[in-house]
A = this chain, B = another copy of it.
């Protein structure tokens, strides 16, 4: 069973469908599946719903699919830094479902773990709780949040082996493992596919069972807020 594909487009061949729900990894522009997003743009798939913490910026990440009007709805926790998003949202062209960041991450993990619903204190007493089931446990009130079961997951990792075992790097891990877990099909893009046996089995962040297709590519890895400090002179 070969999981490795040559290009992002070929790795998405046959799995894209108008109106589908896609879970995407990444936080801000860090650890986003930039090559797969480009390929979805090229494929022209429409009416997409994205479960993704952010919506990219105007010309990078999910932002490029907003420009082409391929996105119908976002399930996100934070969508600042994206003027086109705001415009489409305020004009009613784009639906937006806000989820608290941790609720979104847990909803993805829950979907991947066969858990259709879980209770959380997050959002109780806020607009987030409106219309959701409330339940008391040991005298405290919680709301029911639902697992996300996506049609497709797209994620970005640092290294992979041919069986799809993935390793992430630093804070680029973020939403990638939960996003990968909750999709019926998961396609991963990585910086390097290494020989089988060269990843430490104790240090694999996402086992290959979650990864159905795999590409290696060159990533721009854009930095959103370049902040530095001065070296003190000795």
- Residues from chain B with a CB closer than 8 A to the CB of A114 are 120-121
**A202 contacts which chain B residues (CB < 8 A)?**
167-170, 173, 203, 205
- Residue tally, chain A, CB below 8 Å to B: 27
- Write out, one digit per residue, whether chain A residues 91-135 have a CB within 8 A of any chain B CB (1) or not (0): 000000000000000100010011111111100000000000001
The interface centre, meaning the residue of A110, A114, A135 with most chain B CB atoms within 10 A of its CB, is: A114
Q: What residues of B have a CB within 8 angstroms of the CB of A168 in the complex?
A: 202
How far apart sit A110 and B115, CA to CA, in the bound complex (Å)? 12
Question: Considering the chains assembled together, what is the distance between the CA atoms of A115 and B116 in angstroms?
Answer: 14
Of residues 139 to 197 in A, which have CB atoms within 8 Å of B's CB atoms?
A: 140, 142, 146, 167-170, 173
Q: Kindly identify, within residues 11 to 67 of chain A, every residue whose CB is under 8 Å from any CB belonging to chain B.
A: none
Instruction: Say if the beta carbon of A138 comes within 8 Å of chain B.
Output: yes
- Rounded to whole Å, the gap between the CB of A200 and the closest CB of chain B is 7
Smallest distance from the beta carbon of A110 to chain B beta carbons, Å? 7
When C-beta atoms are compared, the residue in chain B nearest to A203 turns out to be B203
**In the assembled complex, which residues on chain B have CB atoms less than 8 Å from the CB atom of A106?**
113, 115
In the bound complex, do residue A117 and residue B116 qualify as a contact, i.e. CB atoms below 8 Å apart? no
What are the residues of chain B within 8 A of A115 when measuring CB–CB? 106, 118-120
Distance from A228 Cβ to chain B, minimum over Cβ atoms (Å): 21
Please report the C-alpha to C-alpha distance between residue A110 and residue B121 in the assembled complex, in whole angstroms. Answer: 13
Shortest A144–chain B CB gap in Å is 9
CB A107 to nearest CB in B, in angstroms, measures 12
Instruction: Name the B residues within 8 Å of A137 (CB-CB).
Output: 116-117, 146
A118, closest chain B residue (CB): B118
Instruction: Write out the residue numbers on chain B whose beta carbons fall within 8 Å of the beta carbon of A135.
Output: 117
- Contacts A115-B120, A168-B202 known; 17 new A-B pairs at CB < 8 A: A106-B115, A110-B118, A114-B120, A115-B118, A115-B119, A116-B119, A116-B142, A117-B118, A117-B137, A117-B142, A118-B118, A118-B119, A167-B202, A170-B201, A173-B202, A200-B203, A202-B205
Give the B-binding residues of A (Cβ under 8 A).
106, 110, 113-121, 135, 137-138, 140, 142, 146, 167-170, 173, 200-203, 205
